[in-house]
């Protein structure tokens, strides 16, 4: 972080000068704020990173304020004695506030852990939060000063031939361009390229306990046109999993069929559209279009499908179901979330359009009910096949969209255009006629009649994937103005810049919490599928048995 937007000082002076006292005061304030509660419990080293990022942001804001005041002509001449008093006051405040809020921060984290239902952490580790935070802040400060020094050197060099203001502007622009080019080059051609190659190699493995299915209703079986080795690690896990017809019958107490699961791996075709066509061919081979319910799933990153959502769909559907999914990337979801938001959309559109076209070609009285589901990037990619909420309603027979990222559409428009008075975290749309939002399954039970098709956006109030956005830097969202969800610490408040970094770091382990919190969506999916599908003769006891079966009972 630069100490001042000015660049006239020499590189050595700019790099080695003492920290600005106003910047330090703001850094202390942001340190205090960074220790306040967020959506999920954080391990101590992530808290250290969040605090360091917040501190350097506060330092930069303080320096910028001081610079603006000077530019307005206010330059008080403080005496040496006044300066000493100021420094000692700042030091005393730090000596009191830093240990106090380290203790309070560790205590608040224990409260969040109790709320979420994870074991308490050793509070003494919070002593290392300060060390990590200072290291992060100092490194970023050094980087900022280095860039400032480079701009100052270029300004002096350019000043030999150009007017000073022009030279200064050109230097700043040149440094910014070089930084962007280097970061983009390193990120996309270097780090991401290496990550994708590494992920491609890892994708060749098979998870422990996963075995090739023998049933012809599964892709990757001996009867399938999709070789077992071509499905990718997550694809193999998907087609090998799920309940059998016998298990479904035992749990539901009604006759059942063997569920169909079809899948194609990324290496099965040269294009995403080609992979989608292979999925449709598998549906034709297995008789997927002859089942009572057919679900199109857009996967996450390298092909993952939430087993709880898929299996509960099959239980509630009595096994008279087919699920169609495909792999579109080798990148793990966190990297795809950052670097590749286009491919999930391309895949979501390609798969739904391919399946929908084949489905529409069948006589209307012989078509299965056409469902859509997906989680996280899968929800984001799957929604890209639809222009709006009404389009979702018109072109499907139901949907369960889980943990939708904040940048997804039409989720964003649906949320923004919610009925007046409804909450951002639980919007009501057209009185709940077709589309409903739920943090807990019971949230979908609105007083108004629920017409078919029924669509549910399932999103926990504590899920940072759903609530993270760049706007958190400067804008307090409605979900932090309104009453907080029952799974969010009531002490959470929006703080400019700080909340952005807190929620950013919350995302790292957002799925490593018990089901019902964060980005962890579990057996409760059975309750939502029961409401969406509404099978004849189904009751609450059957839902409870399905949930118990999914939990291993």
CATH number for the domain including 296? 3.40.50
Answer yes or no: is 338 within a domain.
Answer: yes
Answer yes or no: is 179 within a domain.
Answer: no
Instruction: Examine the domain organization and report whether 434 and 542 are in the same domain.
Output: yes
% of the chain at pLDDT higher than 70: 90
Asked if pLDDT for residue 226 goes beyond 90, the answer is: yes
Residue 127: band (very low, low, confident or very high) from pLDDT cuts 50, 70, 90: confident
Instruction: Examine the domain organization and report whether 144 and 222 are in the same domain.
Output: no
Q: Is 517 left (phi over 0), alpha (psi -120 to 50) or beta?
A: beta
Answer yes or no: is 344 within a domain.
Answer: yes
pLDDT at 191: 61
What radius of gyration do the chain's Cα atoms show?
27
| Domain's final residue, options 122, 138, 158 | 158
Instruction: Examine the domain organization and report whether 96 and 242 are in the same domain.
Output: no
Q: Find all residues with CB under 8 Å of 270, minimum gap 6, and list them.
A: none
DSSP per-residue codes, 292-338: SEEEEEE-BTTTB--HHHHHHHHHHTTT-EEEEEE---SS-HHHHHH
pLDDT at 8: 47
Instruction: Examine the domain organization and report whether 545 and 461 are in the same domain.
Output: yes
To the nearest 10°, report the CA torsion of 149, 153, 158, 164: 60
| Domain's final residue, options 158, 190, 225 | 158
| The token pair that represents 158 in the structure block | 């350019």
Asked if pLDDT for residue 164 goes beyond 80, the answer is: no
Answer yes or no: is 226 within a domain.
Answer: yes
Answer yes or no: is 342 within a domain.
Answer: yes
The verdict on pTM exceeding 0.75 is yes
Instruction: Examine the domain organization and report whether 142 and 230 are in the same domain.
Output: no
Answer yes or no: is 296 within a domain.
Answer: yes
Answer yes or no: is 490 within a domain.
Answer: no
User: For residues 459 and 528, what is the distance between their CA atoms, to the nearest angstrom?
Assistant: 12
Instruction: Examine the domain organization and report whether 85 and 226 are in the same domain.
Output: no
The one-character DSSP state at 425 is S
Instruction: Examine the domain organization and report whether 148 and 226 are in the same domain.
Output: no
Instruction: Examine the domain organization and report whether 90 and 22 are in the same domain.
Output: yes
pLDDT at 193: 64
| The token pair that represents 113 in the structure block | 């852990």
Answer yes or no: is 503 within a domain.
Answer: no
Instruction: Examine the domain organization and report whether 120 and 227 are in the same domain.
Output: no
Domain count, the chain: 2
Instruction: Examine the domain organization and report whether 234 and 121 are in the same domain.
Output: no
| Domain's final residue, options 132, 158, 184 | 158
Full domain range(s) for residue 54 = 11-158
Instruction: Supply the mean pLDDT for the chain.
Output: 90
pLDDT per residue as tens digits for the range 309-368: 999 999 999 999 999 999 998 777 676 676 678 889 999 999 999 999 999 999 999 999
Instruction: Examine the domain organization and report whether 245 and 154 are in the same domain.
Output: no
User: For residues 273 and 440, what is the distance between their CA atoms, to the nearest angstrom?
Assistant: 36
pLDDT per residue as tens digits for the range 285-313: 999 999 999 999 999 978 999 999 999 99
pLDDT per residue as tens digits for the range 500-537: 999 999 998 999 999 999 999 999 999 999 999 999 99
The one-character DSSP state at 290 is G
Asked if pLDDT for residue 7 goes beyond 50, the answer is: no
Instruction: Examine the domain organization and report whether 519 and 439 are in the same domain.
Output: yes
């Amino acid at each position: 972080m630069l100490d001042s937007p000015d660049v006239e000082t020499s590189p050595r002076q700019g790099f080695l000068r003492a920290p600005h006292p106003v910047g330090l005061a703001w850094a202390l304030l942001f340190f205090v704020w960074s220790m306040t509660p967020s959506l999920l419990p954080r391990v101590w080293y992530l808290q250290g990173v969040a605090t360091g990022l917040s501190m350097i942001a506060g330092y930069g804001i303080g320096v910028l304020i001081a610079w603006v005041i000077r530019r307005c002509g206010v330059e008080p001449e403080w005496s040496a004695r006044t300066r000493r008093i100021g420094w000692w006051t700042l030091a005393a405040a730090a000596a009191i506030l830093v240990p106090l809020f380290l203790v309070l921060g560790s205590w608040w984290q224990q409260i969040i852990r109790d709320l979420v239902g994870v074991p308490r952490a050793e509070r003494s580790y919070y002593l290392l939060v300060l060390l990590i935070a200072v290291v992060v802040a100092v490194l970023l400060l050094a980087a900022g000063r280095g860039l400032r020094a480079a701009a100052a050197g270029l300004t002096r060099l350019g000043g030999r031939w150009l007017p000073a203001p022009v030279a200064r502007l050109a230097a700043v622009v040149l440094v910014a361009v070089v930084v962007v080019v280097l970061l983009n080059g390193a990120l996309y051609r270097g780090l991401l390229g290496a990550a994708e190659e590494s992920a491609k190699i890892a994708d060749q493995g098979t998870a422990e306990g996963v075995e090739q299915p023998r049933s012809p209703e599964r892709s990757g079986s001996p009867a399938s046109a999709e070789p077992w080795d071509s499905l990718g690690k997550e694809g193999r896990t998907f087609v090998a999993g799920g309940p059998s017809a016998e298990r479904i019958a035992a749990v539901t107490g009604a006759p059942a069929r063997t569920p169909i699961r079809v899948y194609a791996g990324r290496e099965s075709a040269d294009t995403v559209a080609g992979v989608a066509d292979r999925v449709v061919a598998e549906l034709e081979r297995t008789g997927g279009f002859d089942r009572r319910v057919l679900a199109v799933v857009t996967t996450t990153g390298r092909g993952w499908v939430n087993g709880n959502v898929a299996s509960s769909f099959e239980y509630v559907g009595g096994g008279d179901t087919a699920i169609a999914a495909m792999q579109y990337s080798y990148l793990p979801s966190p990297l795809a979330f950052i670097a590749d938001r286009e491919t999930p959309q391309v895949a979501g559109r390609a798969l739904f359009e391919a399946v929908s076209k084949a489905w529409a070609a069948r006589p209307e009285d012989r078509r299965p009910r056409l469902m859509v589901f997906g989680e996280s990037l899968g929800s984001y990619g799957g929604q890209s096949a639809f222009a709006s909420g009404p389009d979702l309603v018109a072109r499907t027979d139901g949907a369960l969209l889980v943990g939708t990222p904040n940048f997804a559409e039409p989720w964003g428009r649906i949320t923004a255009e919610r009925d007046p008075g409804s909450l951002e975290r639980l919007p009501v749309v057209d009185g709940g006629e077709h589309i409903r939002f739920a943090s807990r399954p019971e949230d979908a039970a609105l007083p108004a009649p629920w017409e078919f098709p029924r669509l549910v956006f399932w999103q926990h109030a504590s899920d940072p994937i759903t609530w993270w956005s760049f706007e958190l830097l400067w804008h307090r969202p409605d979900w932090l103005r309104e009453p907080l969800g029952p799974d969010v610490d009531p002490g959470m408040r929006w703080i400019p810049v700080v909340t952005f970094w807190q929620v950013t770091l919350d995302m790292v382990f957002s799925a490593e919490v018990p089901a019902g919190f964060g980005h962890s969506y579990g057996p409760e999916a059975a309750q939502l599928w029961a409401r969406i599908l509404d099978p004849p003769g189904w009751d609450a006891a059957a839902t409870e048995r399905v949930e118990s079966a999914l939990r291993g009972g």
